[in-house]
Structure 1
Amino acid sequence: MAGGPSGNGGGISTASTAWAIVMSAFAAFGGILFGYDTGTIGGVIAMQDWLDVFGTFDSTGQLGQSTKGMYLPTKDKSLVVSILSAGTFFGALLANPMADYVGRKRGIVASCVVFSLGVGLQLDTQWATFVVGRVIAGLGVGLVSCLVPMYQSECAPKNIRGLIVGLYQLAITIGALLAAVVLNATKAEQSHSAWRTPIAVQFAWAFILGGGMLLLPESPRYLLHKGHVDRARRAMGRLTSRPADSVEVEAECTEITLALEDEKAHGSGSYADCFKNNRSKNGLRTWTGIALQAWQQLTGINFIFYFGTSFFQQAGITSPSPFIITIIADVVNTAMTIIGVNLIDKVGRRRLLLIGATGMMVCEYIIAIVGVTAGQTASDGSVNLTAQRVLIAFVCVYIAFFATSWGPVAWVITGEIFPLNIRAKGMSLSVASNWLWNFAIGYATPYLVDSSTKGEPNGVATANLHVKVFFIWGSTCLGCLVFTYFFIPETKGLSLEQIDLLYKESSIRNSEKHRRQMIAANETYAHHEKVTASHDESSDDGKPADNVPNTNV
């Protein structure tokens, strides 16, 4: 059926762009699934009723002083927080067969069903069932985290692709903010509803995403990849609000097909092809995606959102309360992500990552230095309120730098650097890297930060770093800076097929200059085909063909 959702086709117009934005941006709602869960678990494990059900009583009086002697042992805290990421790791790997065999659109719908099953299990009062529920929910989140940016990248207009895919990260921040608000509203309830209500709200997010995706078109690039040309043209027509047989739709589909045929000529699209350093530099792209997602986690951002509430409690910060500080952090994260997604297509991917890494590094070193000096609790139990406010302020500034750069940009780059023939596999490996490091950091952080305890049954040895852990995060942000400089190209304003050409024709550090030349020359696969054909024709008489654009860029 020609035309957009309204049924009206007919060429380029503001409405056609608007529909493309609406349809490709709606998938970003999937970010709420992850963001809300991330924000929920940190507050749930600090609730009195949840600790009464799943926690341990400390008869020595050393632990759980503010929760009636109930506390969560370090090993259990590590498990319940990080186990979701274990599920997401395998979910991200499964996204490849889901994307290539079920499809981008239907894959997202199926992921919502899996996620809902996991949420239902977390409403139980048995520890094993609760943990299994988090694993299954993680499978759903892992699938969504790969399929959503893939769908968005393949459907969004190239000039605003960064904004559209960046909305996935914005949805993550909105989810975390909603979680903080719901937790603050239910934390004082003296029943299971205190923690069951925030968890059950996740059914609504899955229903909205799954139901909405059923109404959207499948990715035209996926349909062309599977050889469904007529369906691809209809889907492209819906995205652009043009008739399926229009010249514009035909041109778009031809460009995608030419790029796909070029990729197929140099590889079968297997996992082995992902790591081959061939003409398309697949190996470089794959390792870039894997490392980029790892570095995003190594910024330490999830330390704040996983353990922020309990960390601020342990730091002795009482005014404002740790729950309120978490809400403030979430508001900053959401507000600055809104700014960040609008900068991606203006400032550029590479430059934003460089700025963000530098800003986060400085903030985290300041937090660590203030924390180990003026921020220490005195021997008489008094605290330096000014130092505590400085800590909170720089935590917020640090979050702001992340939200405008590494938060949204990492997802944008992951969604656009892979050629269509290996996109599902490359993205699944990259996103799996994100979740593997998410799991590792989530599991290890309590052992890095918490105080050591002695004696049975509560004895556990930890690094006892507390605020000194920010020295580690500051150093990893330095690593982010170096990695970006050497491995991230500038892809602002290029179509996915032009990014393929950029990798084939340019080095990383020269990518900005070459990108501008490509845009000026309107260099595309179809352009290359015309130039090649003209050269073949001119070889017969030894004269170049007329009116052939210069492609020596």
Structure 2
Amino acid sequence: MAGGPSGTAEGVSNASLAWAVIMSAFAAFGGILFGYDTGTIGGIIAMQDWLNVFGDFDPTGVLGKETKGMYLKVPDKSLVVSILSAGTFFGALLAFPMGDKVGRKWGIVVSCVIFSLGVGMQLDTKWAPFVVGRVIAGLGVGLISCLVPMYQSECSPKNIRGLIVGLYQLAITIGALLAAIVLNATKDEQSHSAWRTPIAVQFAWAAILGGGMMLLPESPRYLLHKNRVPAAQRALARLTNRPVDSPEVAAECAEITLALEAERALGSGSYADCFKNTALRNGLRTWTGIMLQGWQQLTGINFIFYYGTTFFSSAGIKNPFTITIITDVVNTVMTIVGIQLIDRVGRRRLLLIGAVGMMICEYIVAIVGVTVGTVDASGAADNVAAQKVLIAFVCFYIAFFATSWGPVAWVVTGEIFPLNIRAKGMSLSVASNWLWNFGIGYATPYLVDTSTKGQPNGVATAALHVKVFFIWGSTCLGCLIFTYFFVPETKGLSLEQIDLLYQESSIINSEKYRKQMIAGNVTHAHHGKVETTHTDSADADSEKV
């Protein structure tokens, strides 16, 4: 459990730690569902057979040069790519009633069923069922994207909570990599199986996640929130590999209950309470979660994973499918590095470093692309050296994202909310992620694609091409400023200790106060004693943002 069996800084024993890691980490498999779909759709819409079924023919020969004149209109491309995110937005909002009424565990199982229904509809050869299927699959993904980090945060040991929750982002990257591999294997098939096979593989991911979750315990914090004390003790005993009647299990349940009672004394846990700045500072926490998830999307990362294949092709790069696999490998490998840094370097510091790194890389890509990254009349690279620089710095940019904003945003969102409003706060935050995801996915073709205004069924676009990276670089500057003023350092604290940090420290001074909490073993049970002991040293940190 986050907080260890005693609810203090002592953590759990090695045996129980290993068991807790196995059970809480398995839920991260849910990230594969989103990552795989994200990686799949970008390649599918570039396949010849899919375009033959759903695309249009350009008699002028200007569009669809590589696909026998078949192309996808900009509005249709925007719709088919971004509509999943529309579904995930509503799915994330529904995560509150699902997570609080059905439970974290069974909510994930139900979400897998919904996702599978959507996948099945995407095997149709008609446009309407395909699009509706993406919406329904999005509902499942949206639910999972909120319930999985919630379950992990509530069930993982606090000293490695960042690594455990970060595994969700790793699963996303693995899903994208698997999608790139499957797409590369089927892209040359001249039948419906070219795109149906990559889509159908998603049934396996849903079955593994749903089936595995049925064998895991429910979140003890959820059970205590529902006043199901005996069930919570049994679940906690399974997570910590201890007897149900052990003192450690009793102490941990008591600490969680104390924190929950303190929260209930300050509010009913309604949506209105999410935005009230009482002593718990729920308003600050909620807006931090909402904005953090939004800024993660505004880094521009999904531009690469949604439209990377077509973008690299338009930049004159041969075999863009291969380049996409390379970027997916970088994303996966660096996420493995990143999740190991979360509990060592810290959440706040990683976000700051990542924002600076991404900003520099994106500006370099934009400048190189605009100045020397040209293509000739046939669409081939005119400056090969410039193309190599472009690919290299896109990979550096992905590496910075994968070690920071990719996993850390999910970690912070999963741990900053008090239990009384956690389901609501997380659902609002994750819904923000998907809302921005939808907006960016829908707008990108209008920002990047070549304008077809004046042609039959033509559409006017900004035709920014590589210049779009000037926008992403500037948004990363926004990420840097936001992190400095709104994201506290929570490394090594239990979820209940994070409640105390928000009540007694400013954001900027959170690192100093965090160290005092750990040194003084501050908990709800021992709060008064420790606070008196550390009054002098904590004065500077008691101001509120």
Same fold, TM exceeding 0.5?
yes
Give the Å deviation of 1:551. 6.6
Give the Å deviation of 1:455. 3.3
User: Where does residue 401 of structure 1 map in the other structure?
Assistant: 400
Q: Which amino acid aligns with 1:515?
A: R
User: Where does residue 418 of structure 2 map in the other structure?
Assistant: 419
Q: Distance in 1 between matches of 2:480 and 2:434?
A: 21
Q: Distance in 1 between matches of 2:369 and 2:314?
A: 13
User: Where does residue 366 of structure 1 map in the other structure?
Assistant: 364
User: Where does residue 331 of structure 1 map in the other structure?
Assistant: 329
Matched residue SS, 1:473 = helix
1:58, 1:458 within 8 Å by CA — same for their partners in 2?
no
Q: Distance in 2 between matches of 1:528 and 1:498?
A: 10
Give the Å deviation of 1:12. 5.7
Q: Distance in 1 between matches of 2:14 and 2:266?
A: 39
Q: Distance in 2 between matches of 1:94 and 1:250?
A: 33
User: Where does residue 37 of structure 2 map in the other structure?
Assistant: 37
> 1:306-329 CA deviation, whole Å, 9 max, x = no partner?
0000111111111xx100000000
Give the Å deviation of 1:15. 2.1
Alignment map for 1:47-446 (pairs within 5 Å): 47-318=47-318, 321-378=319-376, 383-446=382-445
Give the Å deviation of 1:411. 0.0
Matched residue SS, 2:67 = coil
Q: Distance in 1 between matches of 2:92 and 2:170?
A: 20
1:521, 1:551 within 8 Å by CA — same for their partners in 2?
no
Q: Distance in 2 between matches of 1:200 and 1:242?
A: 41
Q: Root-mean-square deviation (CA), in Å? A: 1.4
Q: Which protein shows a greater Rg? A: 1
Give the Å deviation of 1:376. 1.5
Q: Distance in 1 between matches of 2:12 and 2:39?
A: 41
Q: Which amino acid aligns with 2:513?
A: H
User: Where does residue 525 of structure 1 map in the other structure?
Assistant: 524
Q: Distance in 2 between matches of 1:88 and 1:229?
A: 33
Query: Larger deviation: 14-23 or 426-435?
Result: 14-23
Matched residue SS, 1:66 = helix
Q: Distance in 2 between matches of 1:189 and 1:128?
A: 24
Q: Distance in 2 between matches of 1:296 and 1:511?
A: 22
1:514 and 2:517 are equivalent in the alignment: no
Give 5+ residue unaligned stretches, structure 2.
1-10, 539-545
Q: Which amino acid aligns with 1:35?
A: G
User: Where does residue 470 of structure 1 map in the other structure?
Assistant: 469
Q: Distance in 2 between matches of 1:105 and 1:285?
A: 25
Going from structure 1 to structure 2, the CA distance change for 1:247 and 1:530 (only over 3 Å counts) comes to farther
Matched residue SS, 1:454 = coil
Q: Which amino acid aligns with 1:340?
A: G
Tell me the matched-pair count: 526
Q: Which amino acid aligns with 2:131?
A: V
Q: Distance in 1 between matches of 2:26 and 2:223?
A: 20
Matched residue SS, 2:65 = coil
User: Where does residue 541 of structure 2 map in the other structure?
Assistant: none
Give the Å deviation of 1:288. 0.2
Give the Å deviation of 1:13. 3.8
Q: Distance in 2 between matches of 1:531 and 1:23?
A: 33
Give the Å deviation of 1:204. 0.2
1:104, 1:150 within 8 Å by CA — same for their partners in 2?
yes
2:521, 2:530 within 8 Å by CA — same for their partners in 1?
no
Give the Å deviation of 1:16. 1.1
Q: Distance in 2 between matches of 1:34 and 1:550?
A: 45
Percent of matched pairs sharing the same residue? 81
Matched residue SS, 1:441 = helix
2:24, 2:152 within 8 Å by CA — same for their partners in 1?
yes
Q: Distance in 1 between matches of 2:198 and 2:182?
A: 6
> 1:49-77 CA deviation, whole Å, 9 max, x = no partner?
00000000001111001100000000000
User: Where does residue 542 of structure 1 map in the other structure?
Assistant: none
Q: Distance in 1 between matches of 2:373 and 2:457?
A: 28
1:86, 1:135 within 8 Å by CA — same for their partners in 2?
yes
Q: Which amino acid aligns with 1:510?
A: N
2:225, 2:260 within 8 Å by CA — same for their partners in 1?
yes
1:173, 1:337 within 8 Å by CA — same for their partners in 2?
yes
1:450, 1:465 within 8 Å by CA — same for their partners in 2?
yes
Q: Distance in 1 between matches of 2:107 and 2:363?
A: 42
Give 5+ residue unaligned stretches, structure 1.
1-10, 533-547
Q: Distance in 2 between matches of 1:380 and 1:114?
A: 45
1:58, 1:64 within 8 Å by CA — same for their partners in 2?
yes
